[in-house]
Structures are given as structure tokens and as C-alpha cells.
Amino acid sequence: MHLDALAANYRTVVAELGAVPAAGVVKADGYGLGAVPVAKTLWSEGCRRFFVARIDEGIVLRAALPTAEINVFDGLLPGTAGDMVAHDLVPVINSLEQLQAWQRLAIAADRELPTGLHIDTGMRRLGLPPDECDQLADRPDLLTGLGVRHVISHLASADVSASPQSGRQLALFCELRRRFPFGAASLANSAGVFLGSAYHFDFARPGISLYGGSPYPDSGRPNPMRSVVTAEAPIIQVRWAGPGETVGYGATHTVASDARIATVPVGYADGFLRSSSNVGLAAIAGRLVPIVGRVSMDLITIDVTALEDHHLYPGAPVELLGRHRPVDDVAERAGTVPHEFLTHLGNRFERRYLTEPS
Ligand SMILES: *Cc1c(COP(=O)(O)O)cnc(C)c1O
């Protein structure tokens, strides 16, 4: 992984935001890439606010970043309050029930506890639903003893350029913000940042764009983000296959004319999704070659007939993700989003963190 590219992507997002800061979303172990090295890199770029999904992720991050604001999207789940306080984490409160439990703790501890407030503007996943927003607006005492750091909501369709949902959520968030004018306001994920300044509020919450995914995947516009992850594996063997012969489980690929098939030690157990079978691509020496046959647990097979002999030796590096294999394209070919592809990359990949420009 290229930490310089991560830092450059952070700067690209911040430049798009103008004067508005960006929090770093480092849930799921930094989208599978390592939350601690990712967050430390973002910290060195000036990022001071982070979001994780689970409290355990927050505890790990706290050990690495003693003074950062670390927020937990899951909110205050039963049994987590003690750890939340002990590790100075901020629960992003998702219901009045969570709010009251957190407030009871603040009163018992006789100190103001930092609080995030998630309000639902249409995602219907997390956050205070409309009726609880109404109740909270009528009962400002529910926040007594709590230091509200921010009020956030989440866009459901920011990456669908034609969707009218983002505009509706924006209007509702503006209205709710007037009723809850506490702390900083935040609405935008990566795609939201690029919807324009109306979506920026007081800070943004980019995730996938920092890791190299396009913030406007369906628009046909070139991705302004740099590739952050390179995933490589060596060729194990190269064999000829003749016309009519088939490759791999289920014989899903039939060789048309004499072909050279290289076998590479990466499979779905490494997160190279099986849905890449017969549609994925790899790159050797910067040239694209098709994945033929099924992706199996530990291996893929690629058709390297077009390449010269000197590229095809055991140990020759095959790029699966990287400059020639952008994560958006790799994910799309597998029928998914870059978020899923990155978080699936398995432990059998040896992780290296490089700081040189890529
Ligand atoms: C994951 C997440 C983000 C980041 O989304 P990206 O699409 O990766 O930029 C922001 N906010 C919330 C609430 C999230 O769950």
C-alpha cells in the first residue's frame, strides 16, 4: 500500500472541500488496508477526526492516536459504555434510548460526555428516525450533560449521479440542522463531497476516495484519486493448452486455439472474488491479460498467449490491483463496489506500507 498516494488523495478531497475539513473514515480496519497506518498518515496530513464502525476498532485506534477525536458509528450498544468512556471514544448516537443511556452515564460520572448525533434523512439504516427527532426537538433537556460534537446524516445515493434522493436528503438535513444546531454538521461521504459545496457543511466523511475509489463511479468522468493499493502475486507455472481443452473447475473456459495459461497463487480465499471468473483481468509488465476459467480458492488462471516469453517465468509478478488494475474496474468486473473488494483482501497477502511516491 502506498501511503503517499493515500495522503495525496486526502489532499485532493480537502482541496475539493475548500475551507471545510475532512474526517477520516477508517472503519473495517481502514477498508481492509490497516486502520493504524492509514489513520497515522491522515493525522500527519492534519486530519483530527476519525470514524470507525465498531467500538473495538476505536480502542485499537485510540492506542495509536492518543489525542484524535474517534467516533463510533455503531453508537452506544448495550455493554459498551464503560469502554467508550475509558478509551475516550465518541458514540454516534442512533436513538433516544442510546441518548438516554449515555446521559445517565454522564450524570453518574458528573462530567460532560462527548456525543455524536446521527439523524436519519432517508437511508433508513442508522440514526434517529423522524419521530424521535420530533421528540428530541421538544425535549432539549435530553442533551443536558452531553457535549454534542456533531450532528451527522448519511447519503444513500450520492454515487448515483441521476438520483433525486441526495437533493431530498440535503433539504431535510438543512431543516433538521436548524432544529439541532449543536456542534458541527456533516452529511457528505466521498461521493457527497463531489456533489458540490451545498453538501459540505462543517466537515465531510470520506472513506473510499481516500483508498483510491472514484467518488463519481457512474458518471464516466475520470477518477481524480490515485491508486493506493498494489496487490501482486507471482506466476507459479505456464502451460500450453490446445483447441477444445478447458480450463478450471466446471470447464467454464474452452481454449479456441493454442493458448498459454499461467497459474497464479491468488484465489477467493484471498478475497479475489469468485465472481471475477472469466471476466476479471490481470496485468503483467503493464499489459492486460484475461482471467480464464473459474477463480478457485487458492489459484487463478490467466491467458498469457499475447505476451513474450521473457515475461513468463515462474516468479514473474502479476498485478491484480494497482496502477494498471484500478480498484473500481476490478470491483465492477466482479459485480461489486471497491469497498467490498478492498475489505475482502485476505491475510495471505503480505502487507507492506510504502512511503515513496508511487
Ligand atoms: C462508510 C461511511 C462513510 C464513508 O463512505 P464512503 O462511500 O466510503 O466515502 C461515511 N459516513 C458513514 C455514516 C458511513 O457509514
Interval 20-76: pLDDT, tens: 999 999 999 999 999 999 999 999 999 999 999 999 999 999 999 999 999 999 999
Q: What is the DSSP string of 118-184?
A: EB-SS--SSSB-HHHHHHHHH-GGGGTTEEEEEEE---SSTT-TT-SHHHHHHHHHHHHHHH---SE
What is the model's pLDDT at position 219?
Answer: 81
Task: List the CATH code of the domain at 3-211.
Answer: 3.20.20.10
Neighbours of 345 (CB within 10 A): 21
**Orientation angle between helical segments 35-44 and 55-64, nearest 10 degrees:** 50
Read off the pLDDT of residues 312-334 as tens digits, 9 standing for 90 and up: 999 999 999 999 999 999 999 99
The predicted model gives 131-155 an average pLDDT of 96
Q: What is the pLDDT of residue 357?
A: 62
Single-letter residue type at 186? S
The per-residue pLDDT for 358 is 55
The Cα 247–Cα 304 span in angstroms is 13
Q: Give 120 Cα–ligand 1 centroid separation in angstroms.
A: 14
**Which numbered atom of ligand 1 lies nearest the CA of 339?**
8
- Give the mean pLDDT of 149-172: 96
- The C-alpha atoms of residue 206 and residue 204 are separated, in whole angstroms, by 6
Q: Where are the domains of the chain?
A: 3-211, 231-344
Q: Annotated active-site positions, please?
A: 27, 249
Atom of ligand 1 nearest to the CA of 210: 9
Q: Which CATH class is domain 231-344?
A: mainly beta
Q: Please work out, in degrees rounded to the nearest 5, the angle formed at the alpha carbon of residue 185 by the alpha carbons of 49 and 127.
A: 90
Q: Give the pLDDT confidence of 79-125 residue by residue, as tens digits.
A: 999 999 999 999 999 999 999 999 999 999 999 999 999 999 999 99
Ligand 1 centre to CA of 25 (Å) is: 7
- Nearest ligand 1 atom, CA 53: 15
- Residue 147's DSSP bridge partners are 114
Pocket test for ligand 1, best of 51, 128, 169 (most atoms within 8 A of CB): 51
| Pocket lining: 12 vs ligand 1, CB cutoff 6 Å | no
β-pairing, 113-118 with 146-152? Answer: parallel
Out of 13, 25, 210, mutate this one to test ligand 1's pocket (max ligand atoms within 8 Å of CB): namely: 25
Cell, residue 277 = 471468473
CA–CA separation, 190 and 182 (whole Å): 23
